[in-house]
Amino acid sequence: MSAQSDLESGPAQTGQTLTPNNIYLESMNKVLTCLQSCEVLSCLPESELEHLTTHLITRKYKKNTIIISSGDVTDSVYIIQSGKVKVYRDNEEGRQITFNTLLPGTMFGELAALAGTPRAATVETAEPTVCLVLTKSEFVSMLERNPSVAVSMSRRFAQLVHLMSNHMADIALLDVYGRLTNFLERNVLEIDGKQMVAGFTHQEMANHIGSSREVISRMLGGLKQGGYISSNRDSRAIVLEKKLPPGL
């Protein structure tokens, strides 16, 4: 890990003076915390995680930066340390269809790296993002040393297949309103005792379900007028006030 990238972001606390060694230790602790939060790597002992940190490269990306393009042949594996990325492809009409939104602690790119196949989708930052990058050779070496990680990866792949199956079924079988309500219900979180959907703009919702921002805004407005949802201005979230109706 390079101390330079952390020097650019400044000390962790206002007024605190950090020596290069302290900056390095702080950086390493952040990386270890990220690796421990990664579902695929969470089964690894700390000694193995510490070993991985010596082979990682930290990359910083601005918002709306493409990290991976669909069709690329690359072999890097990425772990999100901070920020958010979206995974999408463009349909025949050129409309962006978002398959997933990935948050800190999530690994991506591992399947194409292992299979040696072109990237199946484009990955683009939705906000400023920091990724930890591992080469294919180091990733494979880690798997050989730790077969238990393969079990975690199999579980994750099964979850991705389930997610994609639901996504494709929604697009094929449901109208836009049905896809919107499914999206809201699948992404609901309990925050401060309330059912909320947070972290998505109207455009991002539209990209997820294959519609336009204008249509989504109109439908959300109808749900709000009916008292089914409300807006939480502090968290910029949608609050689900009661069960969503089968149609508007």
The per-residue pLDDT for range 208-248, each reduced to its tens digit, is 898 999 999 999 999 999 999 998 776 678 999 999 998 76
The residue that leads in pLDDT, 5 or 142, is 142
Q: Which two tokens stand for residue 65?
A: 């930066």
CATH code of the domain containing 178 = 1.10.10.10
How far apart are the C-alpha atoms of 43 and 37, rounded to whole Å? 10
Same domain (yes/no): 36, 108: yes
Same domain (yes/no): 65, 136: yes
3-state secondary structure 20-71: HHHHHHHHHHHHHHHHHHCCCCCCCCHHHHHHHHCCCEEEEECCCCEEECCC
Determine the structural domain holding residue 19 and report its residue range. Answer: 4-171
Q: Is residue 246 part of a domain?
A: no
b/e code 151-161 from CB counts within 10 Å (16+ = b): ebbeebeeeee
CB count, 10 Å around CB of 183? 19
b/e code 105-138 from CB counts within 10 Å (16+ = b): bbbbbbebbeeeeebebbbbbbeebbbbbbebeb
Same domain (yes/no): 12, 133: yes
- At 41, is the pLDDT very low, low, confident or very high (cuts 50, 70, 90)? very high
Q: Is residue 245 part of a domain?
A: no
CB count, 10 Å around CB of 4? 11
Domain boundary among 126, 145, 171: 171
Tell whether the model's pLDDT for residue 49 goes beyond 80: yes
Q: Which two tokens stand for residue 86?
A: 């979206």
- pLDDT for the residue 16: 46
204 sits in which H/E element:
helix 202-209
How far apart are the C-alpha atoms of 89 and 164, rounded to whole Å? 13
The residue that leads in pLDDT, 24 or 129, is 129
Distance of CA 199 to the CA centre of its chain: 11
The tens digit of pLDDT for each residue in 11-21 reads 333 344 444 55
200 and 229 in contact (C-beta within 8 Å)?
A: no
How far apart are the C-alpha atoms of 163 and 169, rounded to whole Å? 10
183 and 206 in contact (C-beta within 8 Å)?
A: no
The residue that leads in pLDDT, 39 or 164, is 39
Q: What percent of the chain has pLDDT over 90?
A: 49
Same domain (yes/no): 122, 210: no
Sign of the alpha-carbon dihedral angle for 140, 145, 150, 152: negative
CATH code of the domain containing 89 = 2.60.120.10
Tell whether the model's pLDDT for residue 206 goes beyond 80: yes
Same domain (yes/no): 152, 233: no
Q: Is residue 99 part of a domain?
A: yes
Same domain (yes/no): 96, 215: no
Q: Is residue 151 part of a domain?
A: yes
For residue 35, give the nearest of 95, 85, 78, 91 by alpha carbon: 78
Same domain (yes/no): 153, 188: no
How far apart are the C-alpha atoms of 118 and 106, rounded to whole Å? 20
- Averaged pLDDT of the chain: 84
247 and 226 in contact (C-beta within 8 Å)?
A: no
The residue that leads in pLDDT, 155 or 87, is 87
pTM above 0.75, yes or no: no
Q: How many domains does the chain have?
A: 2
